[in-house]
Amino acid sequence: MSYQHVLLVTDLMSDADLVAQKAKRILAGAPNAKLSVLHIVEDDMVRFGYELVPSSSLTGDVDGEKWQEARAKLARFLERNELEAVNSEVTAAISNSKGIVNYCHKKDVDLLIIGRHERHGIAAWLVTATADSILPNVPCDSLVVKLNKPVEK
């Protein structure tokens, strides 16, 4: 299968370059594919009845310091890994999983590339890896890159 739209999801942690390099290899074999890169920032949520909404969508604070820092970090990530994305986006969502799944549906992604950090002990029991929670819900092929080393921001 020849991929047309590849989505690289990144947390911009210290090991994100490993995932980027896998994406680069996939893209080398799919010369007609376009690349999108998505980073979801943690945002405060506001409750309206039964709905949760990112506060930045209400206040318009997508140019605050946290957002500017995330955009700059994403630009450095793309440059360092020599990736050319037709779309690189920093966004907020109710959850990383929901944001990724929604993006894949809206943008007709046919390959999702994401890293998965190993969790052990109580952390594995309490917090589900984002990759684990999105796989049943994404409408496309997925490449999950196993990351074993400790994570540094």
Q: What does the block give as tokens for 153?
A: 């921001």
16 lies in a domain?
no
The predicted model scores a pTM of 0.81
83 lies in a domain?
yes
80 lies in a domain?
yes
57 lies in a domain?
yes
Q: Which candidate, 116, 114, 121, 112, places its Cα nearest to that of 142? A: 112
Alpha helices, DSSP H, located in 29-129: 55-59, 65-80, 96-106, 122-126
Backbone conformation region of residue 68, classed left if phi is above 0, alpha if psi is from -120 to 50, else beta: alpha
119 lies in a domain?
yes
Residues 36-81: tens digit of each pLDDT? 999 988 666 566 666 666 555 545 555 678 788 989 999 999 999 9
Kindly state the DSSP code that residue 79 receives in the 8-state scheme: H
Domain with residue 69: its CATH number is 3.40.50.620
Domain that holds residue 47: 5-9+22-127+137-146
14 lies in a domain?
no
151 lies in a domain?
no
Rounded to 5 degrees, φ, ψ at 94 are -60, -40
- Cα–Cα distance measured from residue 59 to residue 66, given in angstroms and rounded to the nearest whole number: 14
Residues 129-153: tens digit of each pLDDT? 677 678 888 999 999 998 876 455 5
99 lies in a domain?
yes
Number of domains in the chain: 1
